[in-house]
Amino acid sequence: MKATIWHNPRCSKSRETLAILNDTPGVEVEVVEYLKHPPTRARLADLYARAEISPRDGLRKAEDAAKALPRDASEDMILDAMVANPILIERPLVETDHGVRLGRPPEKVREIL
């Protein structure tokens, strides 16, 4: 099985999630450092749809750029902000043929392995 992790190596939850993937027999892991190689808007929207979460649910709300968004920002505005400033993307997102999960907590990725 192939698993793609949208990863930030500086994030402890992302590292913990990557360790789960690497420790799972039969999983081939593709690591995408999303700050260096951000997803397109369409790709990010698809990941959230497959994870059954909204862009708002995938927003790193503690970031200054997120605080600058209007409280009533639309999902489209949030996606646009994430594409313009990928640090706003909550991490890690993991994708397999069985779905997409936000690794918060990291153990959630086991649902799609």
Residues known to be catalytic = 11
Strand 28-33 and strand 2-7: the pairing is: parallel
DSSP E strand stretches across 8-113: 28-33, 93-96, 99-102
Helix or strand holding residue 46 (H, E): helix 41-51
d(CA 106, CA 18): 9
Q: For residues 53 and 101, what is the distance between their CA atoms, to the nearest angstrom?
A: 9
